[in-house]
Amino acid sequence: MSERRVRRATIADVAGLAGVSTATVSRVINHAGTVAPETARHVRAAIETLDYRPHAAAQVLARNRTNTIGLVFPEISGYYFASLLRGIAGGAGTYGYDLLIYSAQESATYRTAFQYPVGEQNTDGLLVFTDGLPEGELRRLHARGFPVVLIHWSPPAGLEIPSVTTENKASAYRLVDHLIGVHGRRRIVFLAGPEEHEDSHWREKGYRQALEAHRIPIDGALIAAGGSDREVARATVARLLRDGLDFDAIFAGDDDSATGALTALLEAGRRVPEDVALVGFDDIDIAQHLNPPLTTVRVPVEQIGREAVGQLVHLIRTGEADLLTLLPTQLVIRRSCGCNVVH
Amino acid sequence: MSERRVRRATIADVAGLAGVSTATVSRVINHAGTVAPETARHVRAAIETLDYRPHAAAQVLARNRTNTIGLVFPEISGYYFASLLRGIAGGAGTYGYDLLIYSAQESATYRTAFQYPVGEQNTDGLLVFTDGLPEGELRRLHARGFPVVLIHWSPPAGLEIPSVTTENKASAYRLVDHLIGVHGRRRIVFLAGPEEHEDSHWREKGYRQALEAHRIPIDGALIAAGGSDREVARATVARLLRDGLDFDAIFAGDDDSATGALTALLEAGRRVPEDVALVGFDDIDIAQHLNPPLTTVRVPVEQIGREAVGQLVHLIRTGEADLLTLLPTQLVIRRSCGCNVVH
DNA sequence: CGCTATAATGTAAGCGGTTACATCATACGG
DNA sequence: CCGTATGATGTAACCGCTTACATTATAGCG
């Protein structure tokens, strides 16, 4: 452990050992230019002998690109996060980029001089999830022509920044339409996500339109805060039950709150789906393992991550990307809505 | 979007505008050396005007340290991962390090010259989760005196590499002892994790010792593969039920398999905990929301991440770290074991 | 008032690569 | 047999910053 650090070999060491210039070594490493096969072999042998690896920072400085993309997150939690990251890490690997991640929740107090530890100074482009970056910083980056792609978040007014997200409204509509049309529910609670969560707005819109289509008046008392959070949703539903609110179904804006809602319902002795039908949104891993298995909408989370990386890389390399990438979702009917699908 | 990239200001631009040398600008940026307050103000104004940020690679090259730690993962999934990463990202932020992450599952085919995209060439130290790195690479890094800290993984024979993990055996023992002593179960299935998963071995050891302590013979038929995976566990338990194996409890090696086991039990019409008591290990977020809420062992995942970063930073800075950091766990009794705790 | 300690700042040599350009052999066509 | 295109390699400037050392100005002191 207290092993002293070994001095690392440099390209000059390799050149010396192989009896060539550093330029030739560089050519071998990067498969650039022309090198005689014999020479290349010597160089490779020298690299092997010295256990040489190019110093990344030196390459970055000389090439003027970092080969790294940055990922900015407001916070790290839940299944959703893991799936998305898997997609992003996979995408980055595929395209040959390193991945630098930064979570806004970190106490960045130590950084006195410059506010954001990730940006033009150490990456070739940034992936920003929801409101991970304040608008000012986003504008600054955009003004500099720095590549940025947003995930699950639309750019602030006036900024043409590509974004990648999923279709929300139509599937929310179909879900609620299913509850009404197939299962005859009419008093449907909607558990909304946090204000900043755009997806939630669209899901609520789908909910409202489905009710309207069936000529069911919107009852404000049925729209409550789910917070995209198990505990919040559990508390909310517990309160609704205590207040004696009349409802026969719950559409949770996301599966996390659906989970909390389910807990609250069971704790209160309500049967799902007999007394109260329950549906969610996202299809997180756990959804199918709940009891009863959750009817929800499958959001291709991992694919969103991959697609975002793809757009970013394209933006970095060509200066262009699609302004909006909308990935399709899919209804997943299980048992919590009242259907009797064998799984 | 097709906005052309703006040329970035360099330290020389700032120096020029402020009418000082680059050395002085550097001193201001790094709060090093002595600079007259008046001068410093001018420099800061110039930085502001030019919207200057130091080029990270140039700093790295000049200082000979990257201020970055690398995290290597075999794969990205589940609640466990998110919690651990939260701890690590938080720790890195606290200590002022950037976080470069690399998942071994990525197809690294494009990297022809050098095998690992993360290592001495672009980080000051590495955090390796379970078997994220092949032993050869680990040995190479260790031989070079490069700082590495292992998480949930012991170093291969002969390598003195610090590792951070949790206590497993004693709590597994207490859990199984609880099933036997309090709930009178004697036919207890153990769902083991994958071979490479060290924790699983210790948990199994705790299981065996608890049985022995109660003079219950070990029945090999009761030890089955849980795979640390919901689907695997579900399939395994479904098979055990189909085979008509006699058992009155299941100790799942981790909560993920507990979840799968629960699904299989309910699908087969077994009541939990009346017919079969069920306990897990880890206390993932979802555990308390299962029906019934899961009795398990709380593993301080996030804290493990923070602690690992702490050890790594200490190792980087001083060349020393604790060879083994074992964090304590805690029994969490809920209802799936048969207890009637109100939650 | 001259000398020296100290504060403030500048100069320039790296850090470890990449790459435009120069150089040198060799092969080939007329 | 010579001129030239081509392949192989070397030379050295440069990427943007840090920092040891040199330099200059200022102040304190006997």
Low pLDDT (below 50) residues in chain B: 1-2, 107-113, 343
pLDDT at residue B106, rounded to an integer = 55
Residue A28's identity, in one-letter code, is V
pLDDT at residue A108, rounded to an integer = 47
Cα distance between residue B252 and residue B274, in whole Å: 17
What pLDDT digit, counting tens, does each position of A180-198 carry? Answer: 999 999 999 999 998 878 8
Q: What are residue B228's phi and psi, to 5 degrees? A: 50, 35
Question: What Å value separates CA A60 and C1' D15?
Answer: 9
Tell me how far the alpha carbon of residue B324 is from its chain's centroid: 15
Q: Which one is predicted more confidently, A32 or A299?
A: A299
- Pairwise CB contact (< 8 Å): B86 & A100: no
Yes or no: say if B241 and B270 are a contact pair by the CB < 8 Å rule.
Answer: yes
- Pairwise CB contact (< 8 Å): B3 & A51: no
> Is the per-residue pLDDT at A107 higher than 70?
no
pLDDT at residue A33, rounded to an integer = 86
Interface contacts A/B by beta carbons within 8 Å? 216
The verdict on whether omega for the bond into residue A328 sits within 30 degrees of 0, i.e. cis, is no
Shortest distance, CA B288 to any CA of chain A (angstroms): 9
Q: Is B32 on the interface with A (CB under 8 A)?
A: no
Here the tokens at position A244 are 């004696």
Q: State the residue for tokens 């259907």.
A: A339
CB of A222 lies under 7 Å from some atom of strand D:
no
Q: Is B115 on the interface with A (CB under 8 A)?
A: no
Task: Collect all residues of chain A within an 8 Å Cβ-Cβ radius of residue B234.
Answer: 289
Q: Where in chain B is the domain with CATH 3.40.50.2300?
A: 68-166+302-327, 169-280
What does the buried/exposed string (b/e) look like for A217-229 if buried means 16 or more CB atoms within 10 Å of the residue's CB? eeeeebbbbbbbb
Provide the mean pLDDT of chain A: 91
pLDDT > 70: percent of chain A: 94
Rg (CA), chain B: 26
> Is the per-residue pLDDT at A343 higher than 70?
no
Cα distance between residue A309 and residue B224, in whole Å: 40
Here the tokens at position A110 are 């130590």
Q: Which one is predicted more confidently, B115 or A258?
A: A258
Q: Where are the alpha helices (DSSP H) in A146-216?
A: 169-181, 198-213
Here the tokens at position B45 are 């104004």
Yes or no: say if A318 and A312 are a contact pair by the CB < 8 Å rule.
Answer: no
- Pairwise CB contact (< 8 Å): B145 & A4: yes
What pLDDT digit, counting tens, does each position of A285-338 carry? Answer: 889 888 899 999 999 999 999 999 999 999 999 999 999 999 999 999 999 999
Write the DSSP assignment of A40-65 as a string of letters. Answer: HHHHHHHHHHHT----HHHHHHHHT-
Question: What Å value separates CA B21 and C1' D17?
Answer: 13
Q: Where in chain A is the domain with CATH 1.10.260.40?
A: 11-63
Bridge-based pairing of strands A98-103 and B98-103 is: antiparallel
pLDDT band for position A80 (cuts 50, 70, 90) = confident
Question: What Å value separates CA A61 and C1' D13?
Answer: 14
Q: Is B340 on the interface with A (CB under 8 A)?
A: no
- Pairwise CB contact (< 8 Å): B78 & A285: yes
Task: Collect all residues of chain A within an 8 Å Cβ-Cβ radius of residue B110.
Answer: 94-96
| Calculated CA dihedral for residues A274, A280, A286, A288, nearest 10 degrees | 50
Would residue B221 be called left, alpha or beta, if left means φ above 0 and alpha means ψ between -120 and 50 degrees?
Answer: alpha
Shortest distance, CA B235 to any CA of chain A (angstroms): 13
Please give the DSSP secondary-structure letter assigned to residue A118.
S
Please name the residues between 210 and 269 in chain B that touch chain A, using a CB distance below 8 Å.
230, 234, 259-260, 262-263, 266
- Which H helix or E strand runs over A334? none
Residue A63's identity, in one-letter code, is R
Shortest distance, CA B103 to any CA of chain A (angstroms): 7
- Which H helix or E strand runs over B282? none
Q: Is B120 on the interface with A (CB under 8 A)?
A: yes
Shortest distance, CA B30 to any CA of chain A (angstroms): 8
Q: Is B54 on the interface with A (CB under 8 A)?
A: yes
pLDDT at residue B341, rounded to an integer = 60
- Pairwise CB contact (< 8 Å): B162 & A291: no
Q: Where in chain A is the domain with CATH 3.40.50.2300?
A: 68-166+302-327, 169-299
Question: What Å value separates CA A65 and C1' D16?
Answer: 13
Question: Nucleotides of chain C within 7 Å of a protein C-beta?
Answer: 7-12, 14-20
CB of B143 lies under 7 Å from some atom of strand D:
no
Which residues on adjacent β-strands are paired with residue A3?
A: none
Quick one: A169-299 is in which CATH superfamily? Response regulator (3.40.50.2300)
Question: What Å value separates CA A205 and C1' D4?
Answer: 75
Shortest distance, CA B53 to any CA of chain A (angstroms): 6
CB of A22 lies under 7 Å from some atom of strand D:
yes
Find, in chain B, the residue whose alpha carbon is nearest to that of A148.
B1
Rg (CA), chain A: 26
Residue A168's identity, in one-letter code, is N
Closest CA relative to residue B147, chosen from B169, B130, B124: B124
For the domain spanning B169-280, the CATH number is: 3.40.50.2300
Tell me how far the alpha carbon of residue A278 is from its chain's centroid: 25
The verdict on whether omega for the bond into residue A273 sits within 30 degrees of 0, i.e. cis, is yes
- Pairwise CB contact (< 8 Å): B289 & A230: yes
Shortest distance, CA A216 to any CA of chain B (angstroms): 32
- Pairwise CB contact (< 8 Å): A259 & B289: yes
Q: Is B8 on the interface with A (CB under 8 A)?
A: yes
Per CATH, which fold does B68-166+302-327 belong to?
Rossmann fold (3.40.50)
pLDDT at residue B130, rounded to an integer = 83
What pLDDT digit, counting tens, does each position of A197-226 carry? Answer: 889 999 999 999 999 999 999 999 999 999
Quick one: B11-63 is in which CATH superfamily? lambda repressor-like DNA-binding domains (1.10.260.40)
pLDDT at residue B74, rounded to an integer = 81
Yes or no: say if A343 and A200 are a contact pair by the CB < 8 Å rule.
Answer: no
Q: Is B78 on the interface with A (CB under 8 A)?
A: yes
Q: What angle in degrees, to the nearest 10, is found between the helix axes of A198-213 and A169-181?
A: 40
| Calculated CA dihedral for residues A109, A110, A112, A115, nearest 10 degrees | -60
Please give the DSSP secondary-structure letter assigned to residue B107.
-
pLDDT at residue A114, rounded to an integer = 55
- Which H helix or E strand runs over B21? none
Q: Is B55 on the interface with A (CB under 8 A)?
A: yes
pLDDT band for position A106 (cuts 50, 70, 90) = low
pLDDT at residue A95, rounded to an integer = 92
Cα distance between residue A269 and residue B7, in whole Å: 65
- What are the start-end ranges of the E strands in chain B? 68-73, 98-103, 125-129, 148-151, 163-166, 188-192, 223-225, 249-252, 277-279, 296-298, 324-327, 330-332
Cα distance between residue A240 and residue A222, in whole Å: 9
Tell me the three state secondary structure of residue B2.
coil
Here the tokens at position A151 are 């995930």
Q: Tell me the C-alpha to C-alpha distance, in Å, between residue A266 and each of A232, A279, B293.
A: 16, 15, 11
pLDDT > 90: percent of chain A: 75
B108 half-sphere exposure, CB direction, 13 A CA radius = 13
